[in-house]
Every structure is written in structure tokens, then in C-alpha cells.
Homo-oligomer: A and B are copies of this chain.
Amino acid sequence: MSENSFAPRQSRTRISRRLFLGSSVAAAALPSLLKAEEVAPAEAPASSGFSPRLLPSRELPVPTTVSAQLQGVIAAPYSPGWDTIPKDAAAWRDLAASSSAAAADAITAIRERFNLQVEKTTMAGVPVFVITPSEIAPANRNRLLVHIHGGGFVLYPGEAGAGEGMMMAGYSKCRVVSIDYRMAPDFPFPAALDDISAVWGVLLASYDPRKMGIFGTSAGGALTLSAVLRAKTEGMALPGAIAPGSPCADLTWSGDTVMANAYVDNALVSRTGWVGAAINLYAGTHDLRDPQLSPIFGDFTGFPPAILTSGTRDLLLSDTVRTHRKLRQAGVNAFLQVFEGESHAQFLTPFLPETAEAFGEIVNFFDSHLLA
């Protein structure tokens, strides 16, 4: 898949672009919906040198092409508090504590639904949750899945962060270790990666790395990728497979859907909300293009097989597909699944049919690529 070195003249490109699709009749006026005076300022500077496109205001219906339960999720208003940005460290700590408190009912529901044992312990001094399903599949007896939770590098301390790990244990019938890594504001980058790396080191003493997978979503997807980059750098063994879900792979927010899906995504809504501030809090003064922070800028050569998950309304659909393409360019076995109508990380919503389907693919992928 080498890049094509043929550089077309612009005129040829323009002709060709219309070749298979557009019509070539007389130029039409821009739709009357486009009125410049109604246009809000762009949220991020367009640094391509080209003019931005003016999008008209419009109504976006709830699609009928998803389950009734998912229709309800898509129809929900923007996440409460999405654009409320904590003013100081104490307010960030309050936000983290309230995120975990709000998750408590769902955590209970997941644990009960899958009849899971959840044990809190530490590895290398890092708090972890060891999640054991009621039944372990025979092929999974010597396998372990390692979970890195999301929440913008600031939310879901404690057991609240382990929900995705619990669902994975339930759907996969495999043991899961979920890492309760240190977070901003008190422990910014690279504390989280230090913790993940320390736990990975402990696990390598007990498990064949080819029998371990690492997974996580959003910030947890970014940390999954960064953890592999760091293991590569440090000469540690790599896992047998990974599953980064809708990874925040580019903390510079350069992905196209960061803008195209702004106000379409009802989970993150826009980078101008709390999540943008959270990422700055996490990164501190570090260069956002550091691959340990933004793994899209890293070298994916030698990465294990990877399955990536996103949704068509996801603010980070671009981060996901760019990660997929870059993995493929590096020759990695990488599989992409994108769910109709879902906003950021909504494939984790308990217990939609689409959630079972997303986890089903991931479980199947781990089962195909981890040594038994």
C-alpha cells in the first residue's frame, strides 16, 4: 500500500472528483439555507489555508434504523453538564466524585446482571479491581483481559471506572483486571501511564503476554494505545491483542469529526465542554503531540492485532478511523466496527442489543487472537 507518487494537476482532480457521482450540469446556487449572518464562529482555527464550509442550521431526526432502546439514547438531550467546566482543582475533584456517585446504580446493575465477583486489591501499589465471572470459558482459563477506563483522564475514580471491565468479564467469560490509575488534577500525565505500566509489569510475571489483551474506551482507548507504545519503548512484552474503543488518540483535537459531529454527538457534544478542559488538565505543560499523550503521533509498527469501535455520530469517529488507518499502514491486523447513530462511546450503554453486538465482536476478536 505505498502512496501513489503521481501528483495530478488540480484541474484533473476536479474533473475526476465529479466522475463517478456528481452531475456536470450548470453550476447551481448554494442552498438558500446558507446565510452567512447565522453562522457561529468556528470552534477551532482552520489551519489548512482553505475556507471553512458554512453549514446551515437544521433538524436531525432520531433514526429508525437502530433498536428502540438505542433510539431512546439518541433522542436524549445533551449530557447534563457537558459545558460546565470546573474552576479549580477542588471543583475537578468534586466532579470526579460526583461522576462516580452517579455511576453507582449502573455498576450494581452490571455486577448483578452478569453475576460477577469484584475484588479490590493492589498491584505494584496501584489499586485494581479483579473481576471474575461466574463461569470462565474453557479457552479463557489462562487468559486475562486488562481494562483501562475512560472519563477524560479525570472522571470515574474507584469501582465506578470498572463498569466497562465488568461488562467485558460478563460478555467474554474471562477474568478482567481493571486499573484504578491516578488522575488529574492531583496526578497529571504521565502518572496514569506509570500506574498502567507498573501493573503490566506485575502481570507479566504471572501471565504469558500472548494470553493477555488490553482494552478501554475514550481516554481508556488512548491509554491502551499509549501503554503499548510505552511497552515497546521500554522493551516490555506486548499483549496478544488490544481493543481501543473510540480512542482520544489525538489530544490536539485535529480530527475532522471533532468539528463535523459537534452538536451531533449528544455525549461529548463539543470539545469546548468539560472534556477539552480535562485534557489540558491532564497534559499540563507537556507537548500534546507527544505520542504518550496523543498516540496517533506514535509508531504503530509491531502492534498486536487491534479491534476499534466507534459510532457514526461520535465526536471521535475521526480519531478512531485515523487510528485504524495508521495501524493498517503499519501492517497491523486491525478491524473497525462503527455503529449506526451512536455518539461517543455509546456502545458501552448497558444493556442495548447494539452493546451486546459490539462486545460480541470484541470478545470474538480476543478469542481469535489470544493464545488459549
**B103 x A15 contact (CB < 8 A):** yes
Residues of the B chain whose Cβ atoms lie less than 8 Å from the Cβ of A73: 13, 17
Listed from nearest, the 4 A-B pairs whose CB atoms lie closest are A46-B61, A22-B79, A1-B360, A24-B102
Q: Are A72 and B10 in contact (CB under 8 A)?
A: yes
Q: Is the CB of B312 within 8 A of A256?
A: yes
Question: What chain B residues lie within 8 Å of A274 (beta carbons)?
Answer: 23
Tell me the residues in window 1-60 of chain A with beta carbons closer than 8 Å to chain B beta carbons.
1-4, 6-8, 10, 12-28, 30-31, 33, 35, 38-48, 50-60
Assuming the contacts A22-B80, A76-B14, A80-B27, asked whether A329 and B357 have C-beta atoms less than 8 A apart, the reply is: yes
- A109 in complex: contacting residue of B8, B20, B23, B60, CB < 8 Å: B8
Which of the residues B23, B42, B149, B257 comes within 8 Å of A20, measured between beta carbons? B149
- Near B by CB (< 8 A), chain A positions 325-367 give 325, 328-329, 335-341, 344-346, 348-353, 355-357, 360-361, 364
Within the complex, the shortest CB–CB distance from A182 to chain B, in Å, comes to 18
List the B side residues contacting A13 at CB < 8 Å.
69, 72-73, 349-350, 352
Interchain Cβ contacts under 8 Å between A and B, 8 examples: A6-B351, A21-B267, A22-B82, A23-B80, A24-B98, A260-B261, A312-B321, A329-B357
Cα distance, A312 to B312, chains bound together (Å): 8
Kindly report which residue of chain B lies nearest to residue A216, judged by CB atoms.
B20
Pair B318/A151 contact, Cβ less than 8 Å: no
Q: How many copies, total?
A: 2
Q: Contact between B356 and A63 (Cβ–Cβ < 8 Å)?
A: no
* A292 CB within 8 Å of chain B: no
Residues of B within 8 A of A30 (CB): 77-78
Q: Which residue of B lies closest to A64 (CB)?
A: B48
Let me know if A84 is at the binding interface, CB within 8 A: yes
CB pair B256 A341 closer than 8 Å: yes
Q: Please give 6 more A-B residue pairs, beta carbons under 8 A apart, in addition to A1-B357, A27-B81, A328-B361.
A: A16-B163, A19-B156, A22-B267, A50-B62, A53-B266, A318-B341
Of B20, B55, B318, the residue contacting A57 (CB under 8 A) is B55
The reply on A116 being an interface residue by CB < 8 A is: no
Set B66, B318, B352: member contacting A65, Cβ < 8 A:
B318
A101 to chain B, nearest CB (A): 7
The answer to whether A324 has its CB under 8 Å from any CB of chain B is yes
Q: Is the CB of B264 within 8 A of A156?
A: no
Q: In the bound complex, what is the Cα–Cα distance between A73 and B328 (angstroms)?
A: 23
A353 touching B3, Cβ below 8 Å? yes
Is A203 at the interface (CB under 8 A from chain B)? no
Q: Give A252-292 as 1s and 0s: 1 = Cβ < 8 Å from B's Cβ atoms.
A: 00111101111110111110001000000000000000000
